[in-house]
Structure 1
Amino acid sequence: MKKILFACGGTAGHINPALSVATIIRRQHPEIQIRFAGNPDGMEARLVPKAGFEFVPFRSMGIQRKLTPYNIYRNVKSVLLLMTAEGRARKVLREFEPDVVMGTGGYVSGPLLLAASHLGIPTLTHEQNAFPGVTTKLLSKHVTKVLLAVEAAKKHLDPNGTYEVVGNPVRPEILTADRAASRKALGVKEDQFCLLSFGGSLGAQRVNEAVADVMAWHAPLGSIHHIHATGQYGVELLPRLLEERKVEYKNNPNFDIREYIDDMPACLAAADLVICRAGASTLSELQAAGRASILIPSPNVAENHQYHNAMVLVEHNAARVLEEKDLTGESLTELVRQLLSDRQLTRTLGENAKKMAVTDAAERIAGEVLELMGR
């Protein structure tokens, strides 16, 4: 029996692409045994079994750069786990005996892919960002092949490595969502400009503060339907900010304010303009949906990779970028105002984003895994 081990974890951006690829392989080749390795405390421990795949725990932690008493404790624990990682990884591999090991990111990927490489097992890793992380840079010297989301990442990696540009997997629902039906379901009027904004599942205070000023600007106009996700930490913050600005948002059909967007395919289909961070998966969905965007890269990520992600779209005239150091209510409002008043520019940004989309990334990655297995 052929076997594949996926190593991933930490964030949905690492886990969901792996699940998309594994689902395609399972559909095409139900005889192949698929297993996932990830942190027992991570969201992968919940999402993987829910998707119907085997899960084996492999504990791994990253080093925290900001030195607080708690982070120092975490770093000591991380070092101890790192010291035993090779032996624990070999144990997982020998017990399962995979034909291929595929990594899609997270702290768990590095030790398992390195151990597999040392054992002579064919390996693949997928880098989602335009600026690769430290783990991918290290792995590029050891794995059989590195799969890239964008061509721009290649220049930052070992020139002797083997690379293939395959894009980032996106949910099929993003591609099939109907614009007219979505706008009707969300209560967007036919002549309204639909603005979608979010700063991540936890929420970003700076984004919420700037969006509150945008809402205060367009509330009297009535021409904008605004869908905004506050995130966990913005649930109480945003209403307070709106009340300070005397914005009548309660029972206002032009405001759709919620903690989290759980119907993203419909919201993207309905939107004319999106304000958001620049995570790799988010940008791939913007491209697949063909949506204009104002990108606010998070400065609190490794290697400032969100800025590099955003600049790939900017260079293709597919988005506008507003760095957080320049983010104010005034600067964001002015950008929205410009794009609202120039609908042709907004459409052009969306069309250019659409041209960048790779809509069959999961199929491409599945093909790479199966090809390596056959080889």
Structure 2
Amino acid sequence: MDEIRIIIAGGGTGGHLFPAIAIGEKIQSLYKNSHIHYMGSIFGIESKVLPVKLYPHTLLPIKGIQRNFSFNSIMKNIGLPYFYLKSLSIAQELFDELLPNIVVGTGGYASAIPIKLGIKNKLPVVLQEQNSYPGLTTRVYASRANIVCTAFGEAHSYLKEAKCLLTGNPIRSNISLGLRENGAKIFKLNASLTTLFVFGGSQGSIVLNQLIEKLVNELKITNFQVLWQTGSKHYNRYKHLDSDLIRVLPFIDSMADAYALSDLIFSRSGALTISEIMAVGKASILLPFSKAAENHQYKNAKTLADYNAAVLLEERTVNSEIVYRTIKNALNNKNKLMKMGQKAKSMSKLNATENIANHIIELALA
């Protein structure tokens, strides 16, 4: 069995890093003689995650472009040429030492330099795009990549010169294996009650937390219960609201069981969140983060809403009254919940991680 050496570059946020890790782990499970080397940024979440996992990795001193015109952003952008050249030098040394067979990019500013070097060295390049509206790095390099693996068909209209394959997003392999009874036991809730699951991603969402805080009294007198992940940074502000019907937690490890317990999800609409909601086939109310780059969360949410698989709310018009009315109407209509969940499930791509990994292995061995 020939050895294959693969560079997987991506990071800055978990939305780019965790697909990279999922792909790398799947490749190694499918092809034992594979060497995976991750690349990211010293400023991204990967600087904390990769060392803990003890995966071979290189972190570049690269930052993303600041896209507003504040004084602080302008000052940060002034230093970009220096960081870029330094990162380019480090990356080139790694390429010369490792001699990779292929480069995989999962997006974010940390992936741009490795992708550029892969193309320059005439190596096969595979991009994995998580969002319905492709990120900047994907848009720049898609036409020169061998394959762009997409999560949403809507992305293809922005990548007309690229070879796109609709594969779905790499997500946790056990995410759909949770049990409602386990969820009730873990979170000390009632398995027989209708459950609203609220979360704003791993870091939590200030806006979602504030909206739910305003609704606590109304929620306590309804016939359903709430599982609420605030995010670790925000937990102390809301922990006093914990009760038998409203479970307040800083972070949830057992996401599969949390999804299984839920009947309706109220969340942001990052790419991986959307993909997990589709995989578990749950109805959802989505409130996109309005300051997400190029408004990609809105476009992700709209993809589900247009298919009647979710309800889309917007920060600029939302208030606690609208949220409460939307939640109550959904939870009091079991038929609507079921149909929304079925629609979401039908949009999910099974075996996405394995399909992407197989394409990468095939190109690496070609």
User: What is the TM-score normalised by the length of structure 1?
Assistant: 0.92
Query: Number of residue pairs matched?
Result: 364
- The residue identity in structure 1 corresponding to 2:217 is A
- The residue identity in structure 2 corresponding to 1:62 is G
Partner of 2:176: helix, strand, or coil?
helix
2:338 corresponds in structure 1 to: 347
Q: Are 1:315 and 2:317 matched, yes or no?
A: no
1:90 corresponds in structure 2 to: 92
- The residue identity in structure 1 corresponding to 2:224 is I
Distance 2:300 2:343 in 1: 15
Partner of 1:9: helix, strand, or coil?
coil
Q: 1:126 to 1:295 in 2, by over 3 A?
A: same
1:246 corresponds in structure 2 to: none
Distance 2:182 2:254 in 1: 13
Q: Are 1:144 and 2:146 matched, yes or no?
A: yes
Q: 1:256-295 CA distances to partner (integer Å, 9 max, x unpaired)?
A: 1122222211111100001000000001111111111000
Distance 2:336 2:179 in 1: 22
- Out of 30, 35, 38, the residue aligned to residue 36 of structure 1 is 38
Q: 1:14-72 CA distances to partner (integer Å, 9 max, x unpaired)?
A: 11111111112212222221111111343323323433421122221111123444433
- The residue identity in structure 1 corresponding to 2:334 is R
- The residue identity in structure 1 corresponding to 2:226 is H
Partner of 1:197: helix, strand, or coil?
strand
- Out of 235, 240, 261, the residue aligned to residue 252 of structure 2 is 261
Any conservation in 2 of the 1:289–1:354 contact (CA below 8 Å)?
yes
Any conservation in 2 of the 1:170–1:359 contact (CA below 8 Å)?
no
Partner of 2:336: helix, strand, or coil?
helix
How far residue 149 of structure 1 moved from its aligned partner, in angstroms, is: 0.7
Q: Are 1:51 and 2:42 matched, yes or no?
A: no
Structure 1, 175-184 or 360-369: larger mean CA deviation:
175-184
Any conservation in 2 of the 1:59–1:108 contact (CA below 8 Å)?
no
How far residue 233 of structure 1 moved from its aligned partner, in angstroms, is: 4.4
Distance 1:367 1:130 in 2: 23
Any conservation in 2 of the 1:212–1:329 contact (CA below 8 Å)?
no
Partner of 1:141: helix, strand, or coil?
helix
Any conservation in 1 of the 2:167–2:349 contact (CA below 8 Å)?
yes
How far residue 219 of structure 1 moved from its aligned partner, in angstroms, is: 0.7
Structure 1, 143-152 or 71-80: larger mean CA deviation:
71-80
Distance 1:257 1:72 in 2: 40
Partner of 2:75: helix, strand, or coil?
helix
How far residue 91 of structure 1 moved from its aligned partner, in angstroms, is: 2.4
Any conservation in 2 of the 1:174–1:285 contact (CA below 8 Å)?
yes
User: What is the TM-score normalised by the length of structure 2?
Assistant: 0.94
RMSD value over aligned CA atoms? 1.8
Q: 1:155-206 CA distances to partner (integer Å, 9 max, x unpaired)?
A: 011x222111110011122121122332343333243111110123333322
Partner of 1:5: helix, strand, or coil?
strand
For 1:1-375, list aligned pairs within 5 A.
Answer: 1-157=3-159, 159-221=160-222, 223-238=223-238, 249-250=241-242, 252-375=243-366
Distance 1:353 1:174 in 2: 15
How far residue 374 of structure 1 moved from its aligned partner, in angstroms, is: 2.0
- The residue identity in structure 2 corresponding to 1:118 is K
Any conservation in 1 of the 2:108–2:135 contact (CA below 8 Å)?
no
Distance 1:188 1:352 in 2: 27
- The residue identity in structure 2 corresponding to 1:19 is I
Any conservation in 1 of the 2:105–2:128 contact (CA below 8 Å)?
yes
How far residue 104 of structure 1 moved from its aligned partner, in angstroms, is: 0.7
Partner of 1:257: helix, strand, or coil?
strand
Q: Structure 2 stretches of 5 or more lacking a match?
A: none
- The residue identity in structure 2 corresponding to 1:334 is R
Any conservation in 2 of the 1:10–1:44 contact (CA below 8 Å)?
yes
Q: 1:123-169 CA distances to partner (integer Å, 9 max, x unpaired)?
A: 11100000011111101122221111111100011x22211111001
- The residue identity in structure 2 corresponding to 1:172 is S
Q: 1:206-225 CA distances to partner (integer Å, 9 max, x unpaired)?
A: 2112112332212123x221
Any conservation in 1 of the 2:103–2:115 contact (CA below 8 Å)?
yes
Any conservation in 2 of the 1:273–1:293 contact (CA below 8 Å)?
yes
Distance 1:66 1:39 in 2: 21
Distance 1:205 1:113 in 2: 35
Any conservation in 1 of the 2:132–2:152 contact (CA below 8 Å)?
yes
Distance 2:311 2:112 in 1: 34
How far residue 236 of structure 1 moved from its aligned partner, in angstroms, is: 4.2
How far residue 83 of structure 1 moved from its aligned partner, in angstroms, is: 4.3
Structure 1, 100-109 or 206-215: larger mean CA deviation:
206-215
